[in-house]
Amino acid sequence: MEKVRLRVHITPRSSRNRIIAWRDGVLSVKLTAPPIEGAANKAAVEFLADCLHIGKSRIALVSGAKSREKTFEIADLSEQEIARRLSEPHD
Handedness of CA 60, 73, 85, 19 (dihedral sign): positive
CATH superfamily for domain 3-87: YggU-like (3.30.1200.10)
C-alpha to C-alpha distance for 26 and 34, rounded to whole angstroms: 21
Q: Where are the domains of the chain?
A: 3-87
Give 28's strand partners: 9, 21
C-alpha to C-alpha distance for 63 and 51, rounded to whole angstroms: 20
Helix (H, G, I), strand (E, B) or coil at 52: helix
The pLDDT tens digits of the residues spanning 2-11 come to 899 999 999 9
Q: Global pTM?
A: 0.93
pLDDT for 9:
97
Residue 91 has pLDDT above 80, yes or no: no
